[in-house]
Amino acid sequence: MELLLAPECAPFAIAAVMLAALTAIEVLCLLLGFSLGEVIDKSGFDDHSALAGLLSWINLGGVPILVLLMLLLGFFAMIGFVLQSAALALWSPLPAPVAAVPAFILSLPAVRSASHLVARIVPRDESYAVDLSEFIGVLGEVAVGPLDQGLPGRIRAKDRHGNWHSLRAKAAKEEAPIAIGTDVLIVDCISDVFIAIRAPSDILASTPSSSMEIP
């Protein structure tokens, strides 16, 4: 118990507290009828930042950003406490900054594997609920962007069952950056990342507005 409260374990204790707080907030939000994870996913998260690139790499299972953060906090805290316990058994606990670096590095592949497992156990609004090919030719709307040929953004689109999905996507090579809120047409899928173009006006004109309304 003394090790848990020691200054050398402060980063891991803080991560554990943050994980508990996020879990409590999410449970409370669900009781109130909405999900904090969905709010974060639909927000204007800058999918072209360095953090977004990291999340894109570890988001193997297509799970929500909130789940990724919770997994990262959990593994970081757990690995950190294990490292400090081992260091104490051998000699003495490591300084907090020294222990935090390997704990963070080791937590990344753990989160990457765990996100894949979570997505298989609890499929949600990514493409594991339906076959990837079913989204080709489907209209959607840019939710996180703008879409270009760099790091993936996200678009919202309906599957054939009428369920909404948040899909990782890039703009086609010939397309200029596509702004948030723009209607797009999914034309391809490469390595689980969809390729989109601006929706042609004739297709939009023939599509009922209700089918394009984002919830």
Domains and CATH numbers, the chain: 7-121 (no CATH), 132-212 (2.40.50.140)
Which of the pair, 121 or 136, is modelled with greater confidence? 136
Structure tokens at 70: 């919770």
Rounded to a whole number, what is the largest CA-CA distance in the chain?
72
Question: If you average pLDDT over every residue of the chain, what do you get?
Answer: 79
Give the H/E segment covering residue 55: helix 50-58
Q: What is the pLDDT of residue 213?
A: 47
Token output for 77: 């805290």
- Number of other CB atoms surrounding residue 133 within 10 Å: 9
Distance (Å, whole) CA 162 – CA 207: 14
Stretch 50-57: mean pLDDT, rounded? 59
Whether the pLDDT of residue 46 is over 50: the answer is: no
